[in-house]
């Protein structure tokens, strides 16, 4: 350990002696490390923010709908009564099977008129979505086909301004619906737009009875993790027993879509970081070049060291330590810049994607690891070249 510390001190003295040259050599490491940290850090932070926000929606459903590409889509049309048959077929897996409608209806309050999306909803909630006012729909609302509604925060502002929406009545497609809850905005304007703002939710029984008695758009199945695919297949089998084996249905596991989305983000982030890694390779070549120059300049010094008893191993470790220190200094400065840019980028993106988690330990470990790797890989050849110098020839230099 004492020997390594001595080599470290000699490396620092040598680099300081040629500080301008050392600084210029480190620029490549600074740029490469900063670019990798920034791209990798922001991509990971964005992925964590999106995953966290989507995770607040709780269990993602399996969606079953008639395949529109079949020759006769009408034979596979899902009817309201089919939902009960599917629920019976899935009772050993999950009790949460519901029809789903989404329509655009004229919705008014006083003189305010708009055409928001009006969707059906159930009393099943395992999400982490918070309420700005009131409550969510309950199973009692569904069982009694109550004329109640839950709205999003933007509609609360549009219809009721700064007032209290709870207890007021919206007129939806001619019917009166009492507002019982207002969802708080999701953190992140992009995700608010993606998952749906300007939305009114009413019990699906009420929707079918009073708003649209036509067949539902699809069936939602909330199955436990690991049972989604089985639930989808059982639902299709139940529907084919009703509509015939020629009826075709699409099964969409929305949790798989989220996983695929996260995978794509990770691949993009890794790919961009790899491109930034090219700068590290260029920086490594610069370090190798400057170390070879250093070996040439210090040939006589190497000869003297060998003459007084220094081994090849000692000479190689001395120059290798200089290369590692050079790479670590550049990588450290680059990592600091990259972390600052990552924090700024994450702060800006959080307004669109929600709260983000920056993996500081991971990106710092990445910076240190890459710096040491570059120092070792590109410093080994100059170190070995210095170690192999003939002491007599070196003294004559």
Number of domains into which the chain is organized: 2
CA dist 287 and 265 (Å) reads: 33
Q: Are residues 107 and 171 in the same domain?
A: yes
255 C-beta neighbours (distance < 10 Å), count: 15
d(CA 85, CA 99): 12
Query: pTM for this one?
Result: 0.66
CA distances from 383 to 7, 13, 289 (A): 13, 17, 12
For residue 193, pLDDT beyond 60: no
Largest CA distance in the chain: 103
Q: Which residues 6+ apart lie within 8 Å of 151 measured at CB?
A: 159, 165, 170, 179, 181, 182, 183, 199, 200, 201
50 lies in the same domain as 72: no
Q: Is 190's pLDDT higher than 60?
A: no
Q: Cβ distance 327 to 375 under 8 Å?
A: yes
In this predicted structure, the answer to whether residue 391 has a pLDDT above a threshold of 80 is no
- Shared domain for 47 and 67, answered yes or no, is no
CB 161 within 8 A of CB 112: no
Query: Quick one: pLDDT band at residue 171, thresholds 50, 70, 90?
Result: very high
State percent of the chain over pLDDT 90: 31
**pLDDT tens-digit profile of 194-211?**
455 788 999 999 999 999
Q: Which residues pair with 203 in a beta bridge?
A: 121
H or E stretch at 104: strand 102-104
Same structural domain, 286 and 209: no
**Predicted confidence (pLDDT) per residue in 284-317, tens digit:** 888 888 888 888 877 787 788 777 777 788 788 8
Please give the pLDDT value at position 376: 86
Tens-digit pLDDT profile for residues 92-135: 998 999 999 999 999 999 899 999 999 999 988 877 677 889 99
- Of the chain, the percentage scoring pLDDT greater than 70 comes to 89
Place of tokens 């009006």: 118
**pLDDT at position 235:** 93
The two beta strands, 175-183 and 169-172, are: antiparallel
Range of the domain at 43: 2-55+259-396
Query: Which residues on adjacent β-strands are paired with residue 100?
Result: 218
Q: How far is it, in rounded angstroms, from Cα 278 to Cα 214? A: 59
Q: In the listed set 253, 274, 289, which residue is the last one of a domain according to the structure? A: 253
Q: Residue 53 above 70 pLDDT?
A: no
Of the three residues 253, 280, 296, the one that is the final residue of a domain is: 253
Residues 295 and 371 in one domain: yes
pLDDT above 90: residue 148? yes
Same domain, yes or no: 178 and 241: yes
| pLDDT exceeds 80 at position 394 | no
Q: Is the distance from CB of 120 to CB of 202 less than 8 angstroms?
A: yes
Strand partners, 250: 65
Gyration radius of the chain over CA positions: 33
In this structure, are 248 and 280 located in the same domain?
Answer: no
User: Residue 170: what pLDDT?
Assistant: 95
Residues 222 and 93 in one domain: yes
Asked which of 1-10, 142-151, 387-396 is least confident by mean pLDDT, the reply is 1-10
Q: Are residues 24 and 152 in the same domain?
A: no
Other CB atoms within a 10 A radius of the CB of residue 323 amount to 27
Q: ∠ at Cα 289 (286, 295), nearest 5°?
A: 140
Q: Which tokens hold the place of 39?
A: 């791209």
Domain boundary among 235, 253, 271: 253
149 and 180 Cβ atoms separated by less than 8 Å: yes
- Asked if 268 and 326 sit in the same domain, the reply is yes
| Pair 138, 218 in one domain | yes
Cα(72)–Cα(361) distance, rounded to whole angstroms? Answer: 57
Residue 75: pLDDT above 60?
yes
What pLDDT is attached to residue 153?
A: 87
**pLDDT confidence of residue 302:** 77
pLDDT tens readout for residues 78-100: 999 999 999 999 999 989 999 99
Whether residues 67 and 47 share a domain: the answer is no
pLDDT in tens, 282-293: 888 888 888 888
């Amino acid at each position: 350990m004492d020997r390594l510390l001595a080599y470290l001190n000699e490396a620092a003295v040598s680099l300081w002696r040629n500080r301008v040259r050392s600084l210029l050599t480190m620029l490549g490491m600074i740029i490469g490390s900063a670019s990798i940290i920034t791209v990798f850090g922001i991509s990971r932070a964005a992925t964590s923010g999106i995953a966290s926000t989507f995770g607040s929606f709780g269990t993602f459903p399996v969606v079953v709908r008639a395949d529109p590409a079949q020759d006769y889509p009408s034979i596979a049309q899902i009817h309201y009564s089919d939902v009960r048959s599917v629920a019976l077929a899935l009772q050993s897996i999950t009790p949460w099977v519901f029809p789903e409608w989404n329509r655009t209806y004229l919705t008014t309050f006083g003189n305010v008129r708009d055409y928001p999306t009006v969707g059906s909803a159930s009393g099943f909630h395992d999400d982490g979505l918070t309420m700005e006012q009131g409550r969510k729909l309950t199973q009692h609302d569904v069982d009694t086909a109550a004329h109640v509604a839950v709205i999003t925060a933007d509609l609360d502002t549009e219809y009721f301004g700064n007032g209290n929406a709870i207890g007021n009545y919206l007129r939806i497609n001619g019917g009166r619906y009492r507002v019982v809850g207002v969802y708080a905005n999701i953190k992140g304007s992009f995700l608010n737009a993606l998952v749906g703002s300007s939305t009114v939710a009413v019990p699906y029984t009420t929707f079918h009875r009073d708003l649209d008695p036509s067949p539902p758009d699809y069936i939602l199945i909330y199955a436990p993790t690991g049972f989604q695919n089985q639930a989808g297949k059982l639902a299709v089998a139940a529907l084919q027993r009703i509509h015939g084996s020629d009826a075709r249905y699409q099964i969409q596991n929305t949790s798989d879509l989220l996983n695929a989305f996260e995978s794509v983000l990770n691949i993009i982030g890794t790919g961009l970081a790899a491109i930034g890694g090219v700068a590290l390779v260029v920086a490594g070549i610069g370090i190798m070049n400057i170390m070879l120059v250093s070996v040439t300049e210090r040939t006589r010094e190497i000869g003297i060291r060998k003459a007084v008893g220094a081994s090849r191993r000692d000479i190689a470790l001395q120059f290798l330590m200089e290369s590692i220190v050079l790479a670590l200094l550049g990588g450290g400065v680059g990592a600091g810049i990259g972390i600052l840019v990552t924090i700024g980028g994450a702060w800006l993106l959080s307004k669109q994607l929600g709260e983000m988690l920056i993996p500081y330990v991971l990106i710092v470990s990445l910076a240190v690891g890459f710096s040491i790797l570059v120092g070792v890989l590109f410093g080994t050849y100059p170190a070995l070249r210095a170690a192999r110098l003939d002491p007599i020839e070196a003294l004559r230099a």
